Amino acid sequence: MENHSQNGTQDLLQVSALNCIDLSNPNIHQSVSLLKQACLDCGFFYVVNHGISQEFMDEVFAQSKNLFQLPLNEKMKLLRNEKHRGYTPVLDELLDPDNQVHGDYKEGYYIGVEVPEDDPDAEKPFYGPNVWPEDDVVPGWRQTMEKFHHEALEVAKAVARIIALALDLEVDFFDKPEMLGKPIATLRLLHYEGQVSDPSKGIYGAGAHSDYGLITLLATDDVMGLQICRDKDAKPQIWEYVAPIKGAFIVNLGDMLERWSNFIFKSTLHRVLGNGQERYSIAYFVEPSHDCLVECLPTCKSEDNPPKFPPIRCATYLSQRYKDTHAELNVYNNHQT
């Protein structure tokens, strides 16, 4: 297999060797050490034996397919709202405006933490009711997605405990109520339609970006596509594929954790290249509560290494990042039903 690089020449396919964290490993020191190494190096690693059954993962992928296979006019009825819930059409998201001529060649579906409209918490920017398809259109869909949301959060919390130890914090540092006790967590189903990407023409499945939040869990089907760039300042940039491993999550750190750790832990640039095959992936973005103050961790600063950024409220930070990367909703006015 070959890959077209930015200048149009052909490179041999490079596949990244990432550390693998086994959540069933009783030797926690070993897990902490593998994870720490990965976080210092590129912020990407695999997580296996995470407790979500393969059978259930298959069901989530099947339900994702059921939704994306609906006709476009059905999907447009579920168009995302102001709170980033619901369907995002192809080209909606533009992650790397300097290098992309269009938005991403992917469609998606956002599902956040379900909070009823009449709950005072629903006023918060990242809480509210989700957009759900009618049950007769995709039977059982909501139940499947709610169950996955719930189970993935447990995996994220388990990973966060190992991250806390790797940062010399108390094991339950991220379990506090203002952190993952009341998290902002967003499940995003993704579907790449099978377009061939062409970096030399600015066409990507997903443009180069780093994720905004604390951590992201990513489940993919077996179609290769995700690439990471360990050094964004290198010229030319070198992109390595991350191979899918059946049953594993690919976990990566987001910019919020990079900032929180005073840039000790890395949030790495990544993108998706389409190779002509259809591809499905499922991302689960995890952030602390709205009011959590993201302020340089006590173990990540010293007199010689003072905080590089001022504290910021989690919700303020996230709102800005979403605004920077998504189309204005009024571009879809013609489709509103």
Question: Can you tell me the distance from the alpha carbon of 74 to that of 134, in angstroms, rounded to the nearest whole number?
Answer: 10
- % helix, strand, coil for the chain, step of 5: 30, 25, 45
CB of 86 to ligand OGA, least distance (A): 16
Contact flag: residue 104 with Ni ion (CB under 5 A): no
218 binds, among Ni ion, ligand OGA, none (CB under 5 to 8 A by kind): ligand OGA
Cβ distance to ligand OGA smaller for residue 75 or 106: 106
Contact (CB, 8 A) for 180 and 160: yes
Contact code string over 255-274 relative to ligand OGA, x by CB under 6 A: ---------------x-x--
Question: Can you tell me the distance from the alpha carbon of 56 to that of 53, in angstroms, rounded to the nearest whole number?
Answer: 5
Distance set, CA 318 to CA 31, 93, 104, 174, 248 (Å): 29, 15, 20, 18, 27
Cβ distance to ligand OGA smaller for residue 211 or 287: 211
Cβ distance to ligand OGA smaller for residue 218 or 264: 218
Contact (CB, 8 A) for 314 and 292: yes
CB of 179 to ligand OGA, least distance (A): 21
| Stretch of 19-27, 60-68, 167-175, 211-219 lying at the interface with Ni ion (CB under 5 A) | 211-219
Contact flag: residue 78 with ligand OGA (CB under 6 A): no
Strand 20-22 versus strand 44-48 pairing type: parallel
CA dihedral 63, 65, 67, 73 (to 10 degrees): -170
210 binds, among ligand OGA, Ni ion, none (CB under 5 to 8 A by kind): none
131 binds, among Ni ion, ligand OGA, none (CB under 5 to 8 A by kind): none
Contact flag: residue 92 with Ni ion (CB under 5 A): no
Near ligand OGA in 272-311, by CB under 6 A: 272, 281, 283
Strand 184-192 versus strand 279-287 pairing type: antiparallel
Contact flag: residue 80 with ligand OGA (CB under 6 A): no
Cα dihedral 257, 293, 325, 113 sign: positive
Collect all residues with Cβ–Cβ distance below 8 Å to 248 and sequence separation of at least 6. 20, 46, 47, 48
Contact (CB, 8 A) for 141 and 133: yes
CB of 190 to Ni ion, least distance (A): 10
Q: Which of 226, 264, 269, 315 binds ligand OGA (CB under 6 A)?
A: 226
Contact (CB, 8 A) for 87 and 107: yes
Q: Which of 18, 160, 206, 318 binds ligand OGA (CB under 6 A)?
A: 206
β-strand partners of 110: 86, 188
CB of 206 to ligand OGA, least distance (A): 6
CB of 21 to ligand OGA, least distance (A): 19
CB of 282 to Ni ion, least distance (A): 12
Total of chain residues touching Ni ion, rule CB under 5 A: 1
Contact (CB, 8 A) for 232 and 269: yes
Q: Which of 92, 93, 107, 211 binds Ni ion (CB under 5 A)?
A: 211
Contact flag: residue 211 with ligand OGA (CB under 6 A): yes
Contact (CB, 8 A) for 197 and 101: no
Q: Taking the CA of residue 174 as centre, how many other CA atoms within 13 Å lie in the half-sphere pointing to its CB?
A: 27
CB of 198 to Ni ion, least distance (A): 20
Contact code string over 173-192 relative to ligand OGA, x by CB under 6 A: ---------------x-x--
| Chain positions contacting Ni ion, by CB under 5 A | 211
| Chain positions contacting ligand OGA, by CB under 6 A | 188, 190, 206, 211, 218, 220, 225-226, 270, 272, 281, 283
